[in-house]
Structure 1
Amino acid sequence: MTSIALAPDLQTSAHSVSAEMLARFDIAGPRYTSYPTADRFVEAFGADDYGAAARQRRLGASARSPISLYVHIPFCASLCYYCACNKIVTRHASRGREYLRYLSKEIDLHVARLGPGTPVSQLHLGGGTPTFLSDEDLADLMRMLREAFSFSASGEYAIEIDPRTVDAGRLAHLARLGFNRLSFGVQDFDPTVQQAVHRIQPAKQVFDLVAAARQLSFQSINVDLIYGLPRQSVASFDRTLAQVCELQPDRIALYAYAHLPDRFKPQRRIATSDLPYAAVKIDMLARSIAALTEAGYVYIGMDHFARPDDALAVAKRQGRLHRNFQGYSTQPDCDLIALGVSAIGHVGGTYSQNAKTLEEYYDHLDQGRLPVVRGLGLSRDDVLRRAVIMAIMCQGHVDFESIGIAHLINFPNHFATELAALGQLAADGLVQVTDHDLTVTDKGWFFVRAVAMVFDRYLQTDRKRARFSRII
């Protein structure tokens, strides 16, 4: 497939998207940070099933293969109306200290099953707001993790940051703890939009923090943006994009706002009438892609951009790009150990998720049990379809022979129904299908989730998709 790094025709392609096509694809669908998606997890899969997978890893050939760690810190000092994360709004710092005590218990239970000193090549602290924790608490957390696992000297160690919770001194502390990647939650620089989502943070504050992070030699600085927020316009988001290009982060995550007020109570404070229409959102996306690629960023796909020398862009060029529960990643398909309330992990052919409330999470650990409350053991068909969907989401290209050899199938025969279903997408100019492969076109990247959905067996039998965000 020809690289889409420069994406020269994406803005032109956006103008060829008709109102009829927008209406047809204004549907709900998964983001495919995993396949099967988390809504398919079942309560029949529990702590014993996870324990069996962990012990199998310990006894198998992958025992000394590096893992990825995710730690969920659920606390936030204030509420952002757009947020769909599992979070607890509180200003009581003591709750963070209590949470660490339970994390310590959970870590010990994982080590008992995985064995001590499992190598770690990637760590991600997410939330909530990880920087809700005090400097002392963050130091204690890193100490616990380093005592339980063996951290690679060349690993990627990232933390999500609310700019309102840190200063240059705190960034220096994070560097001393071993973090080498920072992700700043910006969302939008426009004051009117910030007021509408209850997240006021002046642009100067972010610029000063990024400058301080560069002086501290952090390897990678990411900025999160959201388009489709209340009171956003094409013009206002253009101004935010111009400021981001001036800021020059190493990576940019550009997410579409998912308005699901029935599922996420804080979003009920957002008036639907304040949200931009689908046509405006796709214009924002097209202009964002044009502005960021013109500024020198590589379009990784769907919602990520990176500088050409960033590890994410290198992985894209080399065909090593991966997608996991944190989005696009440079890591191969390695096991992911998830710690904390609601955290989702992946070990061997299984997915597992912890209890979603603190009360239930604490109760399991008080009884000496891992807090895994649901999950899934992947079938052969799940593994096959995951490979196809991830190839679409990461590379925009599926080579039928490669998939066939890896999974012992004849791709055109096995997926005859799906390939037939791609006919309309091909007629719309979203994909190109030959006897040997399928390729997502420039215009198709706006609807890449719809392309992947064709291969989602669960969606073919369940059309109730209200639980997902809109794909535009």
Structure 2
Amino acid sequence: MISKQLLKKYDVAVPRYTSYPTVPLWEDNLNEALWIQKVQKAYQDFGCNEGITLYIHLPFCESLCTYCGCNKRITKNHQNEGPYIQGIIKEWEQYLKVLPEKPKLAGIHLGGGTPTFFSPENLRKMISFIRESSTVLPHAEFSFEGHPNNTTMGHLKSLNQLGFDRVSYGIQDLNPLVQKTINRIQPLEKVIEATGNARKAGFKAINFDLIYGLPHQTVKTIKETVDAIAPLKPERIAFYSYAHVPTVFPAQRSFEAHLPMKDQKRELYETGKRLLEDLGYIEIGMDHFSLKEDTLYQAQQKQGLHRNFMGYTTQPSKMLLGLGNSAISDVYYAYAQNTKDIDLYLEQTNLNHLSISRGHLMNHLDIEIRQTILDLMCHYQTPLEYLTCSRATISDLEDLADDGLVILSRGKVQVTELGKPFIRNICAAFDQRMHDQRMRKFMFSKAI
């Protein structure tokens, strides 16, 4: 177990580093014309060989899960489906107009919200249009996030026919009291049914999302959840730390009094990790576990692991285009985020505009630091010879080394076994933009 002294020292608010710079530190120095230039340059430099990965944000949910930090709209009105799907199509058409050729497609991921809020017919309409207007690469990977309660065999068959072979089910926790408290009621029977249906429909890989640090969780409830899913043997399990940011997501205040304390929360993770490893899962980077047969483990072994706004991936594509309200794009030279407001997003796409609300142009130092953080997040080590470290970075690294979290030698930083749980803190040592603005307060979740 990690000492209470280290937990107290390093359990501070830091980014999860799905990007560098992290979104609150973007300079907002981007307009639509400049964004299009960077998209075109990135496609010429990378996309024409590696292809483009698409993240499609589908924001509707029928009920509010009170722990959730995603951008979503709660509604039972399924008349929203058609106009939103049309908005996605029109946004993609704008990219088709500016790309130099029929784009090569390396992957699609449907996130939310609840993608399976949408009917199989509407999802088919959207994906078919994207596929027909692209050249799908042989290694392309299509995946979606499914809710066990409403992912039907119709969804699974339709998406599998369109090339989807990976589904990620949000399980979170199977304890009835935890589920009631976070308003996420889904019996084990539904999880078993959804998993079985995915295998019958032809899906080759299944991921379960679990969360530790939720209200009323104990070592006992974590063990019961892991024991219950063990027979289903998903290829991957994401074991996320619950991010408590009630100033941003007020619904989280409803259970604040029932959250585990710092050392209790870490014990939940250590318990879950041990149980998953006993089942044959290997820890991959931060929060992820996979079986040895899975491509995520194989990518890690070949130093081919990558990390972007969707988390860890085997896709090396340097071009990630986000479609839909609030979706974030990363084209190596710049980041952009669409407006979060659904109605404004639809209005702008209907006027044949990209719905960009904010962005960031990368400078040379940004690109260097991003690679350093990617090395640490994916491989637990990074060379230093090509990076000019600030005084703040050197001071932080020396402090981390004194605490036994990293080893500094021969021009590189090596994360120790003790340091792995503190990987976000280690990455933060290199975060030049956060160092420059330390007196500002940002809404990041706690590291541990």
TM-score of the superposed pair, with normalisation by structure 2: 0.96
Q: Kindly state the Cα deviation for residue 431 of structure 1 after the two structures are TM-superposed.
A: 1.2
Counterpart mapping for 1:276-287 below 5 A: 276-287=260-271
In the aligned structure 1, how far is the partner of 2:332 from the partner of 2:411?
30
Describe the superposition over 1:300-346 as per-residue Cα deviations: whole angstroms up to 9, x where unpaired.
Answer: 02110111121110111111111100000111142011100010011
In the aligned structure 2, how far is the partner of 1:307 from the partner of 1:44?
42
1:206 and 2:180 aligned: no
Q: Kindly state the Cα deviation for residue 64 of structure 1 after the two structures are TM-superposed.
A: 4.4
Structure 2 partner of 1:154: 139
Structure 2 partner of 1:303: 287
In the aligned structure 2, how far is the partner of 1:291 from the partner of 1:429?
26
Structure 2 partner of 1:139: 124
Mean Cα deviation higher: 55-64 or 42-51:
55-64
Aligned-partner SS, 1:163 = coil
Mean Cα deviation higher: 55-64 or 196-205:
55-64
In the aligned structure 2, how far is the partner of 1:165 from the partner of 1:116?
38
Contact 1:107 1:148 in 2 (8 A): no
Describe the superposition over 1:375-406 as per-residue Cα deviations: whole angstroms up to 9, x where unpaired.
Answer: 11101000001111111111111133xxx4xx
The AA in structure 1 aligned to 2:411 is H
Aligned-partner SS, 1:271 = helix
1:471 and 2:439 aligned: no
Contact 1:74 1:127 in 2 (8 A): yes
Structure 2 partner of 1:428: 403
Q: Kindly state the Cα deviation for residue 208 of structure 1 after the two structures are TM-superposed.
A: 1.9
Q: Kindly state the Cα deviation for residue 423 of structure 1 after the two structures are TM-superposed.
A: 1.9
Structure 1 partner of 2:70: 85
Aligned pair in 2 of structure 1 residues 173, 279: CA closer, same or farther (>3 Å)?
same
Describe the superposition over 1:392-441 as per-residue Cα deviations: whole angstroms up to 9, x where unpaired.
Answer: 111111133xxx4xxxx3x5x64565234222222222112213322111
Contact 1:45 1:373 in 2 (8 A): no
Aligned pair in 2 of structure 1 residues 281, 465: CA closer, same or farther (>3 Å)?
farther
**Match 2:298 to one of 298, 311, 314:** 314
Structure 1 partner of 2:329: 345
Aligned pair in 2 of structure 1 residues 348, 399: CA closer, same or farther (>3 Å)?
closer
Contact 1:231 1:274 in 2 (8 A): yes
Structure 2 partner of 1:8: none
Kindly tell me the number of residue pairs found equivalent between the two proteins: 447
The AA in structure 2 aligned to 1:45 is L
**Match 1:357 to one of 338, 341, 352:** 341
Structure 2 partner of 1:375: 359
In the aligned structure 2, how far is the partner of 1:127 from the partner of 1:455?
31
1:130 and 2:106 aligned: no
Contact 2:52 2:320 in 1 (8 A): yes
Structure 2 partner of 1:449: 424
Contact 2:327 2:338 in 1 (8 A): yes
Q: Kindly state the Cα deviation for residue 60 of structure 1 after the two structures are TM-superposed.
A: 4.8
Structure 2 partner of 1:391: 375
The AA in structure 2 aligned to 1:293 is E
Q: Kindly state the Cα deviation for residue 55 of structure 1 after the two structures are TM-superposed.
A: 2.6
In the aligned structure 1, how far is the partner of 2:159 from the partner of 2:418?
41
Mean Cα deviation higher: 88-97 or 238-247:
238-247
Aligned-partner SS, 1:33 = coil
Q: Kindly state the Cα deviation for residue 193 of structure 1 after the two structures are TM-superposed.
A: 0.3
In the aligned structure 1, how far is the partner of 2:411 from the partner of 2:39?
38
1:51 and 2:36 aligned: yes
Contact 1:116 1:148 in 2 (8 A): no
Aligned-partner SS, 1:152 = strand
Q: Kindly state the Cα deviation for residue 244 of structure 1 after the two structures are TM-superposed.
A: 2.5
Structure 2 partner of 1:9: none
Q: Kindly state the Cα deviation for residue 114 of structure 1 after the two structures are TM-superposed.
A: 1.3
Q: How large is the RMSD of aligned CA atoms in angstroms?
A: 1.7
In the aligned structure 2, how far is the partner of 1:441 from the partner of 1:234?
26
Aligned-partner SS, 1:164 = coil
Describe the superposition over 1:12-67 as per-residue Cα deviations: whole angstroms up to 9, x where unpaired.
Answer: xxx2x222221111210000001111112244312112111123245556434311
Describe the superposition over 1:135-188 as per-residue Cα deviations: whole angstroms up to 9, x where unpaired.
Answer: 110110111111222222431100100111123343222212221110001000
**Match 1:263 to one of 248, 258, 266:** 248
Contact 1:64 1:118 in 2 (8 A): no
Contact 1:57 1:114 in 2 (8 A): no
Contact 1:342 1:355 in 2 (8 A): yes
1:366 and 2:366 aligned: no
In the aligned structure 1, how far is the partner of 2:429 from the partner of 2:43?
36
Contact 1:116 1:149 in 2 (8 A): no
Contact 2:337 2:357 in 1 (8 A): yes
Aligned pair in 2 of structure 1 residues 206, 192: CA closer, same or farther (>3 Å)?
same
Q: Kindly state the Cα deviation for residue 258 of structure 1 after the two structures are TM-superposed.
A: 0.8
Counterpart mapping for 1:386-425 below 5 A: 386-400=370-384, 404=385, 409=386, 411=387, 414=389, 417-425=392-400
Contact 2:52 2:317 in 1 (8 A): no
Mean Cα deviation higher: 386-395 or 39-48:
39-48
**Match 1:100 to one of 48, 60, 85:** 85
Over the matched positions of the two proteins, sequence identity in percent amounts to: 36
Contact 2:142 2:165 in 1 (8 A): yes
1:329 and 2:308 aligned: no
Contact 1:162 1:185 in 2 (8 A): yes
Aligned pair in 2 of structure 1 residues 234, 466: CA closer, same or farther (>3 Å)?
farther
In the aligned structure 1, how far is the partner of 2:246 from the partner of 2:47?
42
Contact 2:42 2:319 in 1 (8 A): no
**Match 2:48 to one of 59, 63, 66:** 63
Contact 1:182 1:221 in 2 (8 A): yes
Q: Kindly state the Cα deviation for residue 107 of structure 1 after the two structures are TM-superposed.
A: 1.0
In the aligned structure 2, how far is the partner of 1:86 from the partner of 1:456?
26
Structure 1 partner of 2:153: 168
Structure 2 partner of 1:12: none
The AA in structure 1 aligned to 2:433 is Y
Q: Kindly state the Cα deviation for residue 359 of structure 1 after the two structures are TM-superposed.
A: 2.2
